[in-house]
Amino acid sequence: MLSLMQAKETEQRISAAIAAVLKVEVEIIDANLVRVAGTGKVSSGVGNRLLRGLVNKHVLKTGEPVFINEPGFHSICLSCPLSGTCFYRAYLVYPIKADNKTIGTISLVAFDDEQKKTITSNTETLLDFVGRMAELIASKVVEREMVKEKFVMAGKLEAVVDSVYEGVLAIDDQGVITHFNRSAERMFNLKRKNVVGRHIDEILGNMPLLDVLREGKGFTSKDYFISTNDKKLHLLITAKPIQSGEKKAVGVVATFRDFKEAQKLAYQIITTQEMLGFDDIIGNSTVIKEVKSKAAKIAGSNSTILILGESGTGKEVFARAIHAGSTHSHKPFVPINCGAIPENLLESELFGYEEGAFTGARRGGKPGKIELANGGTLFLDEIGNMSLYLQAKLLRVLQERNIERVGGTQVIPVDIRVIAATNNDLQEMVQKGRFREDLYYRLSVIPLVIPPLRERREDIPLLLDHYRRRFSKLLGKSTEGFSKESMRLCLEYSWPGNVRELINAVEYAINLEEGSYIMPESLPPRLRNGNGKDKKLQLPNSPVEIRPLEQVEKEAISNALERYGWTEEGKTRAAAALGISRATIYRKISKYHLGEN
């Protein structure tokens, strides 16, 4: 809110200057009738509120100047107790306006005949002069208010910058540090008072902010190794130039955070799979209970684990459950499928790369999966597909616990737990020279064998029901279960694709089924044909049984009614399944005397 009190020193100087030139007294009153400046006889009242101030009240209300030649006899003065005996000889009061509001008045006051003569003989000229002085005072008040707002805003911004978790540093066009927040103090173990005002090269010589200043181009989320106070920091830095009106960089603002914390946050945000525990592994069979019990026991250690099992048995699910049950469950779980990525790309995916390491390498480089898993768990699926060259590099990581990015020379320490998985016979691969023996023994410290689904058939109904409910909800269906025949087919099927195949089969059935229960016709053909083997087609010249059309039609209608029921709704659905009208199926029921027995 604008107030004359904000510039009272300036207002007192203006009052004194006017009084010295015109030889009259000057007073300035604010919107609360408090005298903020005054000269001569009125100077003693500065800081006090006017007892009456009827003329000032009038000007504050109307926003128009008033000249009183005979104080005490003017219409405004009639209600004043000093009416007719006022000690003022002449009075010129002018409003001070800012932002279209009257915030006070400036007055010329005559206490003797000489001063009165000055005011009355030059009234028009003085009105113009005092009006300009009022504008000057108003501009000073507005200016002070703007400065105050800037200081308040700067204080608020400083408070915000200090409260953010990220370190914030800013330099001017000479590379001198102008801002250094509390998080930066904590990260670099440096005090703000010892940093602000010094050149960036003196404090953080290898931080690339001067390049941003020269080129006028910033960057986002680059990781750098910064050395300061005999401490090496791995930081994720974002820097943006501060542009002037001429599009020239006049400074740089950089934010940075600890790389390990950034990677943890990134995986919390981008991971698409929820945390899985051992309770989420479905099955009550003896064999699966034994495997879950063993996995739960080894979860608490930091030993390397090798999970063995056929494709689709849920090796990654077990790996995630082991990670969730470990002491570093709050750290990243980083999976990578060694068989799904070409060898020339797998190395950079695992170890990361530096800028310019190869054609197409991203500017600023990129951390690899091993680096991103630091502090957590690295899951290497299909480890048997890894080349001998990468096997040697992985063995070095497990032995020395550090890595070098592709094209880099910086040694990066890593603290990871490795869980590998394969459906290959690694011992046989070792004998054939396709897998390093030393790596095999390093990986298989604790082997964990996941049984195929055919060896735990009692778990099949539980799995079917779980995924039926899951896909029914996802697809908006109200499927209540499996028919007896469908369940029999599922229990007799060998499930060569294990749990993964079962999941796909249930999703297939839910999509096709229109009734309340999953019928055999909605199951994938391989389940209906028996263990995935299609029945042989009869050759055209093979002998086939020829039956009358009426018999075939009667059986088809009877089978449809047995499936959908003999109710009105059942007959309607049976007709739709047969591709005939409702009237036709009623006619056929009557024709073949169906349902009469």
b/e for 518-553, b at 16 or more Cβ within 10 A? Answer: bbbebbbebbbeeeeeeeeeeeeeeeeeeeeeeeee
Name the band, by pLDDT with cuts 50, 70 and 90, for residue 267.
low
pLDDT (0 to 100) of residue 51: 83
Name the band, by pLDDT with cuts 50, 70 and 90, for residue 203.
confident
Give me the mean pLDDT over the 567-588 stretch. Answer: 84
The per-residue pLDDT for range 329-351, each reduced to its tens digit, is: 888 899 999 988 888 889 999 99
CATH of domain 4-146: 3.30.450.40
pLDDT (0 to 100) of residue 512: 92
Give me the mean pLDDT over the 402-429 stretch. Answer: 91
Torsion on CA atoms 191, 195, 196, 200, rounded to nearest 10: -150
Give me the mean pLDDT over the 47-74 stretch. Answer: 89
pLDDT (0 to 100) of residue 537: 35
271-451 fold: Rossmann fold (3.40.50)
* Measured distance CA(425)–CA(439) in Å, rounded: 14
* Lowest-pLDDT range of 22-31, 275-284, 356-365, 499-508: 356-365
pLDDT (0 to 100) of residue 135: 92
Is residue 540 over pLDDT 60?
no
* Beta carbons of 221 and 254 less than 8 angstroms apart: no
Q: Which long-range contacts (CB under 8 A, 24 or more apart) does 22-25 make?
A: 22/108, 22/118, 22/126, 23/114, 23/115, 23/118, 24/108, 24/109, 24/110, 24/115, 24/118, 24/119, 25/108, 25/109, 25/110, 25/111, 25/115
Tell me the CATH number of domain 454-528, given options 1.10.8.60, 3.10.20.30, 3.40.190.10, 3.20.20.70.
1.10.8.60
The per-residue pLDDT for range 91-123, each reduced to its tens digit, is: 899 999 988 899 999 999 999 999 999 998 888
pLDDT (0 to 100) of residue 185: 86
Is residue 363 over pLDDT 70?
no
pLDDT (0 to 100) of residue 589: 87
587 or 523: which leads in pLDDT: 523
Homologous superfamily of domain range 164-261: PAS domain (3.30.450.20)
pLDDT (0 to 100) of residue 538: 40
What share of the chain has pLDDT > 90, as a percent?
43
* Measured distance CA(490)–CA(511) in Å, rounded: 17
Is residue 495 over pLDDT 90?
yes
Name the band, by pLDDT with cuts 50, 70 and 90, for residue 511.
very high
Is residue 544 over pLDDT 60?
no
480 or 146: which leads in pLDDT: 480
> Token pair for residue 275?
């945390």
The per-residue pLDDT for range 475-485, each reduced to its tens digit, is: 998 899 999 99
Name the band, by pLDDT with cuts 50, 70 and 90, for residue 272.
very low
288 or 232: which leads in pLDDT: 288
pLDDT (0 to 100) of residue 409: 82
Is residue 595 over pLDDT 80?
no
Average pLDDT, the chain: 85
The DSSP annotation for 419-469 comes to EEEESS-HHHHHHTTSS-HHHHHHHTTEEEEPPPGGG-GGGHHHHHHHHHH
The per-residue pLDDT for range 432-478, each reduced to its tens digit, is: 899 999 999 999 999 999 999 999 999 999 999 999 999 999 999 88
Give me the mean pLDDT over the 275-285 stretch. Answer: 88
pLDDT (0 to 100) of residue 97: 92
Is residue 311 over pLDDT 70?
yes
> Token pair for residue 461?
């109904």
* Measured distance CA(68)–CA(571) in Å, rounded: 106
pLDDT (0 to 100) of residue 161: 60
Name the band, by pLDDT with cuts 50, 70 and 90, for residue 364.
low
The per-residue pLDDT for range 157-171, each reduced to its tens digit, is: 666 665 567 888 888
* Lowest-pLDDT range of 43-57, 150-164, 271-285, 519-533: 150-164
Per the document, the length of the chain is: 597
